[in-house]
């Protein structure tokens, strides 16, 4: 399930996102992936469904703040129709508005923004 939800320019998912994600999970979604806030947001479980609240931007010309030029895409491993693994891959949008993989400290900071607002097994406080 791909959604368009949440408040722009924040890492914090809204309670309405959580309610909708729960409804999607109850309807049979295995994976709920959100977009719209332009910043990355946290992960959590809704029943047995993984919820990724926001991936950030991917190809977008918003160069007025650092956080709108950062994001993640997902590597998803499927076995038949079952989600077996999901891995975040951080990137930064360059001066030509092209997403480029990033590693090291910058990647760690992007992922820290994700984990800081995550819940359950994905929550990290450090």
The 10s digit of each residue's pLDDT in 53-75 is 999 987 766 676 788 889 999 99
**Which of 90, 84, 96, 33 is CA-nearest to residue 67?**
90
Q: Tell me what percent of the residues of the chain surpass a pLDDT of 70.
A: 95
pLDDT of residue 126: 57
pLDDT in tens, 14-61: 999 999 999 999 999 999 999 999 999 999 999 999 999 999 987 766
Distances (CA, A) of 124 to 31, 106, 120, 121: 21, 17, 9, 8
Instruction: Give how many domains the chain has, as a whole number.
Output: 1
pLDDT of residue 97: 86
Q: Are strands 99-101 and 82-93 parallel, antiparallel or unpaired?
A: antiparallel
Which helix (H) or strand (E) element contains residue 53? strand 49-55
Task: List the domain range (segments joined by +) for residue 8.
Answer: 2-122
For the entire predicted model, the pTM comes to: 0.91
> Six-digit token pair at 118?
């995550």
């Amino acid at each position: 399930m791909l959604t368009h939800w949440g408040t722009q320019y924040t890492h914090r998912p809204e309670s309405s996102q959580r309610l909708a994600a729960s409804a999607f999970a109850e309807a049979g979604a295995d994976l709920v992936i959100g977009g719209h806030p332009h910043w990355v947001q946290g992960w959590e479980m809704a029943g047995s469904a993984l919820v990724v609240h926001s991936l950030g931007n991917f190809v977008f010309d918003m160069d007025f703040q650092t956080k709108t030029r950062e994001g993640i895409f997902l590597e998803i491993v499927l076995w038949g129709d079952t989600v077996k693994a999901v891995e975040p891959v951080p990137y930064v949008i360059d001066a030509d508005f092209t997403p480029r993989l990033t590693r090291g400290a910058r990647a760690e900071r992007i992922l820290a923004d994700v984990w800081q607002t995550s819940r359950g097994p994905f929550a990290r406080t450090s």
